A and B are shown apart, each in its own frame.
Chain A
Amino acid sequence: MENAIEAINLTKYYDDLLAVDHINFEVKKAEILGFLGPNGAGKTTTIRMLTSLTTPSEGTAKVFGYDIQGQTIAAKRYMGIVPEISNIYDDLSAWDNLMFTGELYQVSKPEREKRARELLEMFGLYDRRNEKAKGFSKGMKRRLTISMGLINNPQLLFLDEPTSGLDVQSALIIKDVVRDLNKKGVTIFLTTHNIEEANVTCDRVAIIHKGKIAAIDTPERLKKTIQSVQSVEVAFDKTSPKLLKELEKIPLVNEVHKEGDKFRLYTHDPASVLAGLWEYAKANDLKPISLNTLGPSLEDVFVRLTEIDVKTNKEAI
């Protein structure tokens, strides 16, 4: 068996609302799959079906070969689940939260004590293990939630928005732990809004849009599908309000975005745009202080695959 997850025609209706529309995909063992999509695209509903919290309306999924509907308990034994909201017991200490979760997953007492110590140390919470979780910061609660998801040494970890809204320290710790877990062979199903995080963390990325899988592939292959979206990024020693409009007039430039003190010129021919940019700078006495040519980013792919909604919203406004 090669697959940790196999989604087969997975579908969810909420009454007449089609939230997830007959999706099919596989996640290989020891793979990190990023699951991206705009709000309301069906990410959380999919994760809830895969973890048996929601019953599919049609289709099913297998986790390490076990059907999530017919063999739910067997499938759940392989899973660690970290939901979007940190669902810890505020009135229990960090240690007791882990002990309780260990008991639910039938981890023996010596094993769960050993594991709890390791996890609390790994997530920088060991010194505060005896404090009630209600006094923890958002980042600490998130780290504790992930620790609880790992108490049973899962082979498959579901992470729903693990670093959303966290401080830098917590986000870095979590990213490090995810990489380490994957090195040890743990399969990770990651949903995130942070596209750069998915780009640098995931082996493959699936983009879900309006309940359907719009694309699923490695980040680099996805980027190659939109090679026309290349760009030249430039920053000048001085700037002016009309500069944006002026740069749009350079031949072969499709679009210009201002990003901080930089301008990003989208084109399918960066070499020609560089020449035009150079001429423009000379003619207007501007000195480029940084210049980069960039390929399409995963964010470009995401926007391309979901931009219909953006335009619709703009028109509606």
Chain B
Amino acid sequence: MSKKFSMGQLKTDLSASWAIAKKDMRIYYIKPGTLMFGVLFPLFMFLSFAVGKNVPAATLIPGLISITILFSSSSIGPMVIPTERRVKTFERLVSAPISFYSIILGKTLGGFLFSLAIGVIPLLIGMVWFETQIISFLALVVGLALASYCFATLGIMFASFPTENPGDIMMLLNFVRLPLIFISGLYIPIESLPDWGQVAAAFSPLTYANDLVRYALEGKTLYGPVLDSVVLLFFTGVFLLISMRIQRKFREGVSIRRRKREKAANL
């Protein structure tokens, strides 16, 4: 990869990222796996815990938005990347004259835009049927955008592991996503959690996403919108960095195993 920075190459990379994102949107947004893990799964997860609770429905809307964003944005990368590895179309991207960063950016953009579109649905439901109000429009836009991008990079980080089976990644990802739901103040306020729970909540990006959305819709916040935004940006950076490291380390992982098998068979 060329190490020198140039504006021309940056423009090329951004344009390639957008092309990749557009292509992913057209191909993968309506795939059954995406709809199942990105739309239906969070909805039923939420309903299974929220239905029958003796709280006003409007207070559950920020949690529904947060959980929808978590699942929808982090599902695209793990669906797309292993599938493209299996059918070898990921190699088409890697062999193009673009930087690896642009491929990662393109893939995260796919999850980000999907999540923004899906995340608006519970907001509209809340506004139409449950009298949800927007207290801070800016905090809502920033919250939706930062949370969507952050969780999209979380999905990409997991998708960076060298497998050709989306199910492998989804299984691993759910080991992380499901516990996050319980420690991030979606159902139980963080203040009500035991001490260890409050410490664990501080390490969950979903805590800050939910706090920011709650601030935007209810005006209530535990950490403040600025700290929430900064921490979400920090997590995004960490997830991207780890993604790049894993991709570099395992870039040839799948092909190495296949080639070794072929070589051994031919000896």
A227 and B28 CA atoms in complex are apart in Å by 58
- Residues of B contacting A52 with CB < 8 Å? 95
Contact flag A14-B259 (CB < 8 Å), given A100-B23, A103-B16, A104-B96: yes
A52 and B97 CA atoms in complex are apart in Å by 10
- Give A33-56 as 1s and 0s: 1 = Cβ < 8 Å from B's Cβ atoms: 000001110001100100111110
- Residues of A contacting B3 with CB < 8 Å? 70
A91 and B83 CA atoms in complex are apart in Å by 13
* Contact of B87 with A by CB under 8 A: yes
Contact flag A72-B1 (CB < 8 Å), given A89-B23, A100-B23: yes
* Contact of A17 with B by CB under 8 A: yes
* Contact of A294 with B by CB under 8 A: no
Q: What is the distance, in angstroms, from B266's C-beta to the closest C-beta of chain A? A: 3
- Residues of A contacting B16 with CB < 8 Å? 103-104, 106
Does B27 lie within 8 Å of A73, measured CB to CB? no
* Contact of A25 with B by CB under 8 A: no
A83 and B26 CA atoms in complex are apart in Å by 24
- Residues of A contacting B262 with CB < 8 Å? 39-40
Query: Which A residue sits closest to B98, measured CB to CB?
Result: A104
Q: What is the distance, in angstroms, from A148's C-beta to the closest C-beta of chain B? A: 8
Chain B residues numbered 116-133 whose CB sits less than 8 Å from any CB in chain A: none
A54 and B91 CA atoms in complex are apart in Å by 11
Query: Which B residue sits closest to A55, measured CB to CB?
Result: B252
- Residues of B contacting A40 with CB < 8 Å? 262-263, 265-267
Does B92 lie within 8 Å of A19, measured CB to CB? no
Q: What is the distance, in angstroms, from B115's C-beta to the closest C-beta of chain A? A: 21
- Residues of A contacting B87 with CB < 8 Å? 87, 90
* Contact of B93 with A by CB under 8 A: yes
Chain A residues numbered 94-121 whose CB sits less than 8 Å from any CB in chain B: 96, 100-101, 103-106
- Residues of A contacting B15 with CB < 8 Å? 103, 106
A91 and B34 CA atoms in complex are apart in Å by 15
* Contact of A88 with B by CB under 8 A: yes
Query: Which B residue sits closest to A78, measured CB to CB?
Result: B97
Chain B residues numbered 19-33 whose CB sits less than 8 Å from any CB in chain A: 19-20, 23, 26-27
Q: What is the distance, in angstroms, from A207's C-beta to the closest C-beta of chain B? A: 16
A121 and B227 CA atoms in complex are apart in Å by 58
Chain B residues numbered 70-87 whose CB sits less than 8 Å from any CB in chain A: 87
Does B23 lie within 8 Å of A45, measured CB to CB? no
Q: What is the distance, in angstroms, from A196's C-beta to the closest C-beta of chain B? A: 23
Does B88 lie within 8 Å of A89, measured CB to CB? no
Total number of residue pairs linking A and B with CB closer than 8 Å: 90
Does B91 lie within 8 Å of A89, measured CB to CB? no
* Contact of A81 with B by CB under 8 A: yes
Name the contact of B19 in the complex, choosing from A51, A74, A79, A104 (C-beta under 8 A). A104
A74 and B252 CA atoms in complex are apart in Å by 22
* Contact of B2 with A by CB under 8 A: yes
Query: Which A residue sits closest to B106, measured CB to CB?
Result: A104
- Residues of B contacting A79 with CB < 8 Å? 95
Chain A residues numbered 105-152 whose CB sits less than 8 Å from any CB in chain B: 105-106, 148
Does A89 lie within 8 Å of B89, measured CB to CB? yes
Does A105 lie within 8 Å of B97, measured CB to CB? yes
- Residues of A contacting B2 with CB < 8 Å? 70-74
- Residues of A contacting B96 with CB < 8 Å? 76, 101, 104-105
* Contact of A305 with B by CB under 8 A: no
- Give B156-190 as 1s and 0s: 1 = Cβ < 8 Å from A's Cβ atoms: 00000000000000000000000000000000000
Name the contact of B266 in the complex, choosing from A38, A54, A74 (C-beta under 8 A). A38
Does B259 lie within 8 Å of A51, measured CB to CB? no
- Residues of B contacting A39 with CB < 8 Å? 262, 266
- Residues of A contacting B89 with CB < 8 Å? 87-89
- Give B1-21 as 1s and 0s: 1 = Cβ < 8 Å from A's Cβ atoms: 111000001001001100110
A3 and B265 CA atoms in complex are apart in Å by 35
Does A83 lie within 8 Å of B97, measured CB to CB? no
A253 and B12 CA atoms in complex are apart in Å by 65
Q: What is the distance, in angstroms, from B43's C-beta to the closest C-beta of chain A? A: 25
Contact flag A100-B97 (CB < 8 Å), given A14-B263, A17-B260, A39-B262: no
Q: What is the distance, in angstroms, from B107's C-beta to the closest C-beta of chain A? A: 14
Does A54 lie within 8 Å of B252, measured CB to CB? yes
* Contact of B45 with A by CB under 8 A: no
Name the contact of A73 in the complex, choosing from B9, B26, B255, B260 (C-beta under 8 A). B9
- Residues of B contacting A22 with CB < 8 Å? none
Query: Which A residue sits closest to B96, measured CB to CB?
Result: A104
* Contact of A262 with B by CB under 8 A: no
Does B91 lie within 8 Å of A83, measured CB to CB? yes
Does B26 lie within 8 Å of A92, measured CB to CB? yes
Q: What is the distance, in angstroms, from A223's C-beta to the closest C-beta of chain B? A: 27
The 10 A-B pairs of least Cβ separation, nearest first, read: A40-B266, A103-B19, A76-B97, A87-B88, A104-B96, A77-B97, A91-B27, A73-B2, A73-B97, A39-B266
Provide a sorted-by-A list of 13 A–B residue pairs whose CB atoms are within 8 angstroms: A17-B263, A19-B259, A40-B263, A40-B266, A73-B2, A73-B98, A87-B92, A89-B27, A92-B23, A104-B20, A104-B93, A106-B12, A106-B15
